[in-house]
Amino acid sequence: MTLPIFVITLPDLTARRAPLLAALDRMDLSYELHFGVDGRKGIPPERESQVDRAGIRANVGRDMADAEIACGLSH
């Protein structure tokens, strides 16, 4: 049984993912790239409705950085 390999990455991080993809290619393993939400410049407006900032504050006890929220949206 072959399990699927999903690589979650950001479009502009080609150098960061290159060693991983090269290793997967050497092992002849197929994979799918999935581009996540980039929160480095804030949450994209079309995704903001998916974020419950008050709920985060209540559950985590603090505000989360946009990059943390984007990671959650991506996974």
Q: What is the 3-state secondary structure (H, E, C) of the chain?
A: CCCCCEEEECCCCHHHHHHHHHHHHHCCCCCEEEECCCCECECCHHHHCCCCHHHHHHHHCCCCCHHHHHHHHHC
* Full-model pTM: 0.78
pLDDT, one tens digit per residue, over 7-63 is: 999 999 999 999 999 999 999 999 999 999 999 999 999 999 999 999 999 999 999
The Cα 34–Cα 60 span in angstroms is: 27
